[in-house]
């Protein structure tokens, strides 16, 4: 899966002024600020993308701050339960995690697997409720599937014709 990182990252000093530190956010969520939770929360905040638990473990390893896989999973679970982390439903495959933010949906490229946030018109869940439900709906995640601009631009001319009938 390709990692897009074209957004300019604000310096850590700007971040401290503008928003709460990971320690503050953990405390407000009534979670102890353990090292694994801090590492994962900070990493997701910095990366701004959608990552599997295994990818997060690999990145931490590359950065010389390795965590045991079980610790990555446990921390993600705790952060997920308190809404500090969200799980992106992008279809079958690995569960992808991202920093908790406004409720949104995802566009998934069927060619390269890129995952892009799509704003939700309502911005909170559940944003869709069917007419009849055999229970209570807590959330509705929409997956938009298609081809991203990158992949469309790589399509051969004769294939492009079939894409735009
Ligand atoms: Zn693509
Ligand atoms: Zn997302």
Grouping H, G, I as helix, E, B as strand and the rest as coil, residue 87 is strand
Number of domains in the chain: 2
Q: Is the pLDDT of residue 140 over 70?
A: yes
Summarize the confidence of residues 23-46 as an average pLDDT. 95
Residue 96, SS3?
A: strand
Q: What is the CATH number of the domain that holds 21?
A: 1.10.10.10
Residue 1: inside a domain: no
Measured in Å, residue 99 CA sits from the centre of ligand 2 at 8
Which ligand has its closest atom nearest to the C-alpha of 85? Answer: 2
Confidence of residue 104 (pLDDT cuts 50, 70, 90): very high
Instruction: For residue 143, report the distance from its CA to the centre of ligand 1, in Å.
Output: 15
Question: Which are the contacts of 151, defined by CB distance < 8 A and separation ≥ 6?
Answer: 109, 111, 112
Centre of ligand 2 from the C-alpha of residue 137, in Å: 20
Q: What are the φ/ψ torsions at residue 115 (nearest 5 degrees)?
A: -115, 125
Q: Which ligand is nearest to the CA of 104?
A: 2
Give the range of the structural domain holding residue 85, as residue numbers without chain letter: 6-101
Note the helical H segments in 63-163. Answer: 69-81, 149-153, 157-163
The predicted structure's pLDDT at residue 16 = 43
């Amino acid at each position: 899966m390709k990692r897009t990182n074209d957004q300019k990252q604000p310096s850590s000093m700007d971040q401290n002024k503008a928003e709460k530190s990971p320690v503050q956010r953990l405390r407000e969520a009534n979670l102890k600020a353990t090292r694994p939770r801090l590492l994962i929360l900070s990493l997701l905040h910095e990366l701004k993308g959608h990552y599997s638990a295994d990818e997060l473990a690999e990145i931490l390893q590359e950065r010389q701050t390795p965590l045991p896989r079980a610790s990555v999973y446990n921390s993600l679970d705790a952060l997920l339960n308190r809404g500090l982390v969200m799980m992106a439903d992008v279809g079958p495959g690995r569960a992808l995690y991202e920093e908790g933010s406004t409720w949104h949906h995802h566009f998934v490229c069927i060619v390269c697997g890129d995952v892009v946030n799509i704003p939700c018109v309502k911005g909170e869940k559940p944003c869709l409720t069917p007419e009849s439900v055999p229970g209570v709906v807590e959330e509705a995640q929409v997956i938009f599937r298609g081809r991203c601009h990158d992949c469309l631009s790589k399509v051969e001319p004769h294939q492009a014709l079939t894409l735009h009938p």
